[in-house]
Amino acid sequence: MTKVIGKVSATEKSPSTIDDFYFWTDKGRILSPFDIVKVEHVAPDKTQSITYGVVEEINHVTDAPSHFTSYISSDFGDTAATIGNMNRLGMNYVKARVVCNTKDIYTPVLDGKQVSLCDETDIRIALGLEKVDNPLVCGYLQMYQGEETQRIKVELNSHFLIGPDGAHINISGISGLAAKTSYSMFLLNAIQHKFRLDDGSTVAFVFFNVKGRDLMAIDEPNTELSAADKSIYEHLQLSTEPFKNVRYYYPYSKDTATANVQSYAKPTDVLRQKDNHKAFAYKFTFEKSQDKLDLLLANEDDSTGTLESCVNYVINGEGNFAGVSKWNTFDEKLNECTKAGANGGHKNEIQVISWRKFKRCVSKAIKNEVFSKVINNGEVDLTDEIQNTLTANQVMVIDIARLDENTQSFVFGSVARAIYDMKLGADRDNIPDKVILFVDELNKYASNDIPKNSPILRQLLEITERGRSLGIILFSVEQFRSAIHDRVKGNCATQAYGRTNAIEVSKPDYRYIPKVYQNMMTRLSPGEYIISNPALRSIVNIKFPRPTYKQYPNG
């Protein structure tokens, strides 16, 4: 028997509608936004149906007609008085938004009907969680307070997160407090755990490490996981094991044994991973990267197409670039094209000034050690790794945290393109059905400020708009959702909102979120997110435990 906490109140100025209703409750009753309540409602067969509502606004009101009246009744402003000259009648009234009715009846609920708290079954029915196909744990709900507290596991239909019914997730929140990476890894670990147990579709993962060494030990257990977090994992029926079948890819550096200037990871950790055949150094040779030179221009505006002409000229091996097979040779030939009076392109179609701009964009990047002559034993080409060896349940972690911005863009673009090409035409039988691409700091590749001609932006648009049909799923993370390209975030079926600031929630991206929920976004705690997914009847405020893998002090 669920507890009655109030009654529906329909007034001339605040009537019940098919979308929402008001109810009064005792002023001592503690409710919170996102709590769910139920009201008995009419049905065509003269039986009862139940309407469920989610709390949006909570107000306290007394019979005082003005604040001045309240001042007078407190012995004319005596703040020390515990009892005023008269006792005011007071109550709370609550606005609840209708989420569903058990018999699909959406006429307004009637004045005077009892409003009750919900049990776990009711809450699952209200949110559409009672019979979830292909369940995937995405966190838990903390409903009500005190003795009536409910902790409820939230499971989504995985088909609405990683296809085929919906795909891609965008996770936003301010740096540090929002725990964006932690929530992403919680979901991804749950996905790997689910697909390790299932006999159906296969999935592989490609992660980019962009901050310190956050993700460079995700297969090592978190020895500091608290008992409280362990009990939450047990409640969610999830394993506390870290990721399995992980391979780490570090930027090549000559000094790996002493101090790898290309990575924040400790050399001893890298060497240990290499001894266990888990870590590899990645390089890019000119022969295998020649057709990717456009990725070095991702942040350059090329409205006239001159830079693209330079790229095509090099790729086709025209003029001085015929037979070029090494980066240093390419750099030499590029220098020749930038000299005054040089015939930089076929029939002088490409001007020297264009070659100089092209050189300025690429020269600094290709001097990085990852752009090398040859790939030796223990070193890999990332495109080959993806197209030839990426298999079911494997996790690739690619470290780009310490690379310069242009080189980061090149690595990311190369990997994204390789995944797309693998799904379109790689000739092997063990290609995973789905590949999940996790990228932090999405603003570097898909912000509103990125040039429209950016090849990486085009690749991301291709993935978000058509990747679902190929089984390419994007897990993207950024601080400010409003800064991301509309078509990228618009094609993400699931949205996760972490703590942010008041300026951000005032942007148009949040206009359809009720004001009280917007305000909540400015004070969410770490381990707390607001989730929107097509399979849910309402946005929900979920919580999640700390990660199961090793945490570094700077992570």
- DSSP class of residue 525 equals P
End-to-end CA distance of the chain: 46
pLDDT of residue 219: 95
- C-beta neighbour count of 483 within 10 angstroms: 18
Please give the average per-residue pLDDT across 178-184, as a whole number: 86
What is residue 143's three-state secondary structure? strand
Rounded CA gap, 195 and 77, in Å?
Answer: 66
pLDDT at 199 exceeding the cut of 70? no
Contact call for residues 23 and 43 (beta carbons, < 8 A): no
pLDDT digits (tens, 9 = 90+) for 520-531: 999 998 889 999
371 bridge partner residues = 284
- The answer, as to whether pTM is greater than 0.75, is yes
- At 343, the amino acid letter reads N
Q: What is the CATH number of domain 154-189+196-283+375-401+424-435+463-543?
A: 3.40.50
pLDDT of residue 1: 54
Q: Percent of the chain scored above 90 by pLDDT? A: 58
Please state the domain extents for the chain: 4-127, 154-189+196-283+375-401+424-435+463-543, 287-366
Please give the average per-residue pLDDT across 422-448, as a whole number: 89
pLDDT digits (tens, 9 = 90+) for 325-380: 899 899 888 888 888 766 555 555 788 888 888 888 888 888 888 999 888 888 89
Please give the average per-residue pLDDT across 440-464, as a whole number: 90
Instruction: Kindly give, in sequence order, each residue whose CB lies less than 8 Å from that of residue 30, ignoring residues fewer than 6 positions away.
Output: 144, 145, 146
pLDDT of residue 555: 42
- Extract the tokens encoding 436: 């999940």
Please give the average per-residue pLDDT across 154-161, as a whole number: 91
pLDDT digits (tens, 9 = 90+) for 282-303: 999 999 999 999 898 888 888 7
- Extract the tokens encoding 15: 């009537």
Rounded CA gap, 367 and 160, in Å?
Answer: 44
Please give the average per-residue pLDDT across 131-148, as a whole number: 89
**HSE (CB half, 13 Å, CA atoms) of 453?**
12
